[in-house]
Structure 1
């Protein structure tokens, strides 16, 4: 219970010491204590009970309206933009756990949607009915996969949004805790590089698969090659997302790598661009495939989109104000 009390104290630390804030803190502490005791009575271990309580009541932004402190929270957020926030070891571990779960949801969503496109391409030839239309089952499976992927994206996004309020704040850890996470980041450097190289290698090899069937790209063999390519790309992208988000979480805690002060602005812009960009790529792929009946060629959208996105990221970083400031000071 001490861990929960400490966590709640950290949540309210940035708020003004008003009567409303004090009442809200006491109310939240009482709710957390009641829930903690309920979990213990159900046979849950103390550590698991603490984790569940923090997960349920650990986002002050979600609880602000019910606690009646929305005005105080918004005012503190606007005044504290760019300020630092103290982060305990328990909070840091919970942050890593949330990012880990969010990475699984997001990577699973990407895998499912590419798998749905893969099976549609696989059955694109030789499965037409008497009216010449594609079989409805693969098309139905595609939309089921899209719906499932959207659900996974939403769950992952909600999970990751717990720390949105800290996006523009520096996380200040105790010296020994920060040192431990920097050491952990260094230990995982080799694994991160290996996963990154493996994911990229899979995607490059996958793109080469249709070239092997260049003489049969208009037939079933070509469709199978493209379908296999999409599955392998899905595996490669999943690896990259997992590795990248794990590394990003450690970078966030240690203020290194992509979360170094000079790179945070460009990362924020890249994050806002990435979602609409890949949704547009999917729309182009589906539109070209359905309207132009170009399943044998439309797969090229994905490698081209990947290359262009790399160019977009480089351009954003090159024109970032913080990047120009650092380069100009050399």
Structure 2
């Protein structure tokens, strides 16, 4: 492997652009581009500086017959998994399948309370010969069935874990030319992604309007319950739009290691994932416990918007603490 290929390999392994490496070495981006295209060779001082930046030996950079990365302290770095175009396309395809399965489970969870609210509204006006007790029992049973179906969808996503593990959990580098293909694809879908994101956020914000309008105008309790159903349907629609779009956008971003998947954001994302893994199950437990204890499902839904705002605040606090330490 020649010096030009080694520079490309190391730079991509660190997740740096040509501009990033040029800035660290105090040279122009054009110089790095010439080195990587083998149109010029850096002088010995630049090679020594480059070796220090990458944490490798000068022998590794200068000797074409040494292809295994060797760090300065003599330890051999593990080989980075190489991902070709077919593997990258397969990864995006799998992430799309996972998102379509996941969104079904999410929609079932979000809408699971709708039958209960609807039956309670029917009981309020004594329609369908429903009393409040029958409506509550029937609604809860329906809700539990929907949640069980949702869990089955979430479990199904585990079948893809082995196929995507090497990309999501291990260090990898894209083969030559693959990164530019997926960078172009990311640029193509970005306008559509932001459009869908704005529509979804709009639905989330506006979902509370029907309920607020009826509540402010002192609407009947059955109408308030029906407006809550409308609110959950609007939230579900927003999720149906944004979940697959986000999955595709994030898959491309991870492959080219940009945005939230840039190496400098990797540790921060791990902390957020750890927080989410603890926070959301706890919130679900609080919601279900409070709901079953009081049987006021028309009130306990407030846990979700409050919980979402609190989670965003906690993430922001974590970022502030991290920046202060740096």
TM-score range relative to shorter protein: 0.5 to 0.7
Give the 3 Å change call, closer, same or farther, for CA 98–311 of structure 1 in structure 2: same
How far 1:280 moved relative to its partner?
2.5
The match for 1:114 is 110
Mapped to 2, the partners of 1:276 and 1:162 lie a distance apart of 26
The match for 1:97 is 93
How far 1:165 moved relative to its partner?
4.3
The match for 1:279 is 281
Alignment of 1:88-237 (within 5 A): 88-127=84-123, 132=133, 134-160=135-161, 162-214=163-215, 215-216=217-218, 219-237=221-239
The match for 1:297 is 299
Mapped to 1, the partners of 2:177 and 2:212 lie a distance apart of 53
Mapped to 2, the partners of 1:283 and 1:247 lie a distance apart of 31
Q: Which moved more, 1:265-274 or 1:146-155?
A: 265-274
Are the counterparts in 1 of residues 81 and 166 from structure 2 also a CA contact under 8 Å?
Answer: no
Mapped to 1, the partners of 2:162 and 2:248 lie a distance apart of 16
Are the counterparts in 2 of residues 125 and 220 from structure 1 also a CA contact under 8 Å?
Answer: yes
Q: Considering only CA atoms, is the larger Rg found in Structure 1 or Structure 2?
A: 2
Give the 3 Å change call, closer, same or farther, for CA 306–151 of structure 1 in structure 2: same
How far 1:173 moved relative to its partner?
1.2
The number of residues matched between the two structures is: 246
How far 1:248 moved relative to its partner?
1.1
How far 1:116 moved relative to its partner?
1.3
Taking structure 1 as the reference length, what is the TM-score of the superposition? Answer: 0.67
Are the counterparts in 2 of residues 210 and 217 from structure 1 also a CA contact under 8 Å?
Answer: no
Secondary structure, counterpart of 2:120 in structure 1: coil
Mapped to 2, the partners of 1:188 and 1:80 lie a distance apart of 39
How far 1:121 moved relative to its partner?
1.7
Alignment of 1:254-273 (within 5 A): 254-273=256-275
Mapped to 2, the partners of 1:231 and 1:285 lie a distance apart of 19
Mapped to 2, the partners of 1:104 and 1:85 lie a distance apart of 28
Are the counterparts in 2 of residues 83 and 169 from structure 1 also a CA contact under 8 Å?
Answer: no
How far 1:122 moved relative to its partner?
1.9
- Structure 1, unmatched stretches of 5+, are 1-78
Mapped to 2, the partners of 1:145 and 1:80 lie a distance apart of 52
Are the counterparts in 2 of residues 102 and 160 from structure 1 also a CA contact under 8 Å?
Answer: no
The match for 1:13 is none
Match of 2:290 among 258, 270, 288: 288
Give the 3 Å change call, closer, same or farther, for CA 261–302 of structure 1 in structure 2: same
Are the counterparts in 1 of residues 108 and 147 from structure 2 also a CA contact under 8 Å?
Answer: yes
RMSD in angstroms over aligned alpha carbons? Answer: 2.6
Mapped to 2, the partners of 1:105 and 1:122 lie a distance apart of 26
- Structure 2, unmatched stretches of 5+, are 1-74, 125-129
Are the counterparts in 2 of residues 226 and 299 from structure 1 also a CA contact under 8 Å?
Answer: no
Q: Which moved more, 1:246-255 or 1:288-297?
A: 288-297
Mapped to 2, the partners of 1:81 and 1:108 lie a distance apart of 42
> What does the per-residue CA deviation read over 1:301-321, in whole Å, with 9 as the maximum and x for residues that have no partner?
11111111212222333344x
Match of 1:86 among 79, 82, 85: 82
Are the counterparts in 2 of residues 104 and 242 from structure 1 also a CA contact under 8 Å?
Answer: yes
Mapped to 1, the partners of 2:313 and 2:189 lie a distance apart of 27
The match for 2:242 is 240
Are the counterparts in 1 of residues 99 and 243 from structure 2 also a CA contact under 8 Å?
Answer: yes
Secondary structure, counterpart of 1:162 in structure 2: helix
Mapped to 1, the partners of 2:183 and 2:223 lie a distance apart of 50
How far 1:216 moved relative to its partner?
4.4
The match for 1:11 is none
How far 1:132 moved relative to its partner?
3.8
Alignment of 1:36-115 (within 5 A): 84-115=80-111
